Amino acid sequence: MQLTERILAGKGDIKADTILEHCRIINVNTKEILNADIAIQSGYIVGIGDVSGLRDANTRIIDVNHYYVCPGLLDGHVHFESSMVTLSRFARKALEHGTTGIVIDPHEIANVLGRQGIELVLEEAKSLPLNIFVAVSSCVPATPFETSGASLDAADVRSLIDNEMVVGLGEVMDFPGVLSGDAGKLAMIQAARERRLVVDGHAPGLMGPDLWGYMAAGISSDHESLTYEEALEKLRLGMKLMLREGSAAKCLENFLPRLLEEGVSLENVFFVTDDKHPEDLLAGYMDAIVRKAIALGLDPLDAISMCTINTARHYRIDHLVGSISIGRSADLVILDDLEEFSIHSVIAGGTTIAPIEAQIPVFNYPDHVLDTIRYREIKPQDLQLIYAPGSSVSVNVIKVFPDQIFTEKDNAKLVTDGSGVLLPDANRDILSTAVIERHGKNGNIGQGFVSGFGLKSGAFAQSIGHDSHNVVVTGTNHADMALAANAIKEMKGGIVLVQDKEVLDSLSLPFAGLLSPDPVEEVALELDGLHGTIKEMGCTLPAPFITHSFIALPVIPKLRLTDMGLFDVERFEMIDVVSGNAIS
């Protein structure tokens, strides 16, 4: 819609194509509810109030019947790849749940496919009715202590950042690089700042002078606070606080009630998911967060504001989306009930979203994105650690927790067999784990031990391993682990469960080894089957594949495993599996 047309439509010289009558408008600009009509022309809001002068015989009239109408919801930070489906499939479910805009950082795809991967995402995004805004990935790979399929440097960022869909630089996970003045990292930040774009942060546990230095670079938000005190300090210092309620990590219950109790202003707070697994996406998206926030005591108007205008203002896109205002995109959620935030229907860009399947075209992907698993056949001995035969060895163990992505550093005594193979101990919930470089770069395999899964037999592997997405395999024995790893290669990516040298179940994710082109419903059904099978294998975690995927992420405390070996995040250095041995 050209600017002239918009002006003429607002004046009434061009009549509206759609008018919503008898609305109870949630006005997030003034935090009030208005009884008014809404006029729409070519996907934009051109009139609010008495819009009778903007209609003619051709205007489509929708009687809202005094239902509440709120702005389309926004997810302020999401890696859509965590849904295990393509962007087009993700968009379908997002719109059905009243989310009409998302800010994506496609660094999962970028770690596999590089700049071309981001460009492919941008191309696909143009075909969708969902408003997609992009924060260009700043840390590909996240650290130099892992092998990714590709890397992005400052020149790549500069080439991507001028795209009209780009709203900022994605989460700067490499805070040690920022604090040490890494020239490449600072060049990325400078490129965003020169264009007056936001720079999003990622700084778990960072407080005091280190946080000051990090923020002084111009980094303006964070979603990784480990404690309420840390989150409040960041907010007080001028950071925008992203309250994350995703599939892998949740903070709403821990943070929101205390913010309300202490009377902290929420103007600089907004909601994000960071990740959304397929079964959770089916159950609800940003609408589920709004409902939960209201249930925790937040006023509905404030909850809606934190999921709309607050997000839009942070990314400086509030002139486009985030409110029911003149000149903004006609993204509207019609509610049966405000307190329950029950969705009656959704309008995106002036179009009613139903039936959703008919409105989103199928996107054709190039063949090269479906062939990204490249390593030799894995043998059991490739996954073993060898020490003196018949000895007892003290080892560092990665300890994982339910519904958390941070880990603890634990220690345990393990024994070697007659060949010197250091053995896992399923009876004590200490499993062997390995990260296999899968991009065809060097053939690295990092070995270690993990506890917290509760697996009693067999092994499981997946090509989702944040953020470099090497293959992560964990099990009670090395033979089943090797079989699982080889099955991943054969199926070109996905999740595999193995027991007694037999593949029990699997989920194929051929797009970059991360995504399925199938509908969310089908992927969720298959994933549900995997959850049932791994539970039968003894696993006690509610979301084992999410937890497993973060074992390899060396920017979240405390202990991680990459294809290069065991990594101590707090010391920011590689360490030996055997306790006390540091690696230079």
Distance CA 568, CA 556 (A): 10
What SS3 state is found at 188? helix
Q: Which two tokens stand for residue 441?
A: 């770069």
Distance CA 213, CA 152 (A): 24
pLDDT of 363 strictly over 90 = no
Distance CA 273, CA 342 (A): 20
So what's the pLDDT on residue 525? 96
Residue 329 domain-assigned?
A: no
pLDDT of 134 strictly over 50 = yes
pLDDT of 358 strictly over 70 = no
Nearest in space to 346 (alpha carbons), one of 132, 95, 68: 95
Mean pLDDT over residues 185-212, rounded? Answer: 95
So what's the pLDDT on residue 403? 78
Task: Judge whether 206 and 569 are in contact, CB under 8 Å.
Answer: no
Confidence bin at 426 (pLDDT 50/70/90): very high
Residue 428 domain-assigned?
A: yes
Residue 364 domain-assigned?
A: no
What SS3 state is found at 331? coil
Residue 434 domain-assigned?
A: yes
Confidence bin at 70 (pLDDT 50/70/90): very high
What SS3 state is found at 539? coil
Residue 183 domain-assigned?
A: yes
Rounded to two decimals, what is the model's pTM? Answer: 0.91
Residue 239 domain-assigned?
A: no
Give the per-residue SS3 of 490-531. Answer: HCCCEEEEEECCEEEEEEECCECCCEECCCHHHHHHHHHHHH
Nearest in space to 497 (alpha carbons), one of 456, 458, 526, 542: 458
What SS3 state is found at 182? coil
C-alpha atoms less than 13 angstroms from C-alpha of 270 in its C-beta half-sphere? 28
Of 190, 219, 248, the one marking the end of a domain is 219
Of 219, 239, 269, the one marking the end of a domain is 219
Task: Write the CATH number for 209.
Answer: 3.20.20.140
Residue 87 domain-assigned?
A: no
Residue 570 domain-assigned?
A: yes
Total tally of structural domains belonging to the chain? 2
Mean pLDDT over residues 185-200, rounded? Answer: 96
Domain span including residue 151 = 105-219
**Helix 286-295 / helix 252-261 crossing angle, nearest 10 deg:** 50
Of 219, 238, 271, the one marking the end of a domain is 219
Nearest in space to 228 (alpha carbons), one of 203, 255, 207, 202: 255
What is the residue-wise DSSP string for 389-400? TT-EEEEEEEE-
Could you give the percent of the chain with pLDDT greater than 90? 89
Task: Judge whether 376 and 153 are in contact, CB under 8 Å.
Answer: no
pLDDT of 159 strictly over 70 = yes
Alpha-carbon distances, residue 30 vs 27, 263, 294, 305, 332 (angstroms): 6, 19, 19, 10, 17
Strand partners, 99: 73
So what's the pLDDT on residue 359? 61
Question: Which of left, alpha, beta for 100 (phi over 0: left; psi -120 to 50: alpha)?
Answer: alpha
